[in-house]
Structure 1
Amino acid sequence: MSTLYEPTIFSKIIDREIPADIIYEDEKCIVIKDINPKARIHLLVIPKKAIPTLFNLKPEDKDLMGHMMLLLPQLAESQGLKGFRTQINTGEAGGQEVFHIHIHLLGN
């Protein structure tokens, strides 16, 4: 995977340099279980394109982000959830720890 940004733990997972519990994968994104879950089900939906934060999104990223949003209810249903929360932390002040956009999907 080529990137304009420094490799993150997520890009290393995507490149299979670091193991992870992969729930789903397609050509645009990968979904893994969070290693420090905050709910019974806590998944991370991660684009394969390395984009550090929402501040770095470009108009050409709208299809990628739409793809990830449409995937969320499918993932929730596959995990047996009747409802769920999503969270995107943006920037250090917003609680972001890994600077590669990702969506948290949480449910009990």
Structure 2
Amino acid sequence: MSQILAPLRPTMTTPELLQCSDNQYHHIIFGIGPYIADYPEQVLISGVVQNWCGRCIAFPSDLDAGGPSRTTDLMDTIAEETTATVAWENWGVNVNTTVGSLYSILFS
């Protein structure tokens, strides 16, 4: 692993002068690291309610049945067209962490 990451070492120890989006120059030290999360954190980040399928809209009681794919568009539509309670209980969607809701928080 150290051989694979060796070319990255200089940028993680020596600052580089870069122009940032604010048109100012800043000294940047790059870093790399894993994001380790347990199951509850993983589903929270993904916008899926715990025990629901992360790939499709299958009910927790019948995960083998499958269902429509859990796409970003579908998740956002459910979040927009239903209440938070209905989205949580009927669709397994946490409307507080869908891509659309996070985008509106970050860029509003």
Normalising by the smaller structure, the TM-score range is under 0.3
Q: Which has the higher contact order (CA 8 A, sep 6+)?
A: 1
Q: Whose helix proportion is higher, 1 or 2?
A: 2
Which of the pair is proportionally richer in strand?
A: 1
Highest CA radius of gyration, 1 or 2?
A: 2
What TM-score comes out, normalization by structure 2 length? 0.24
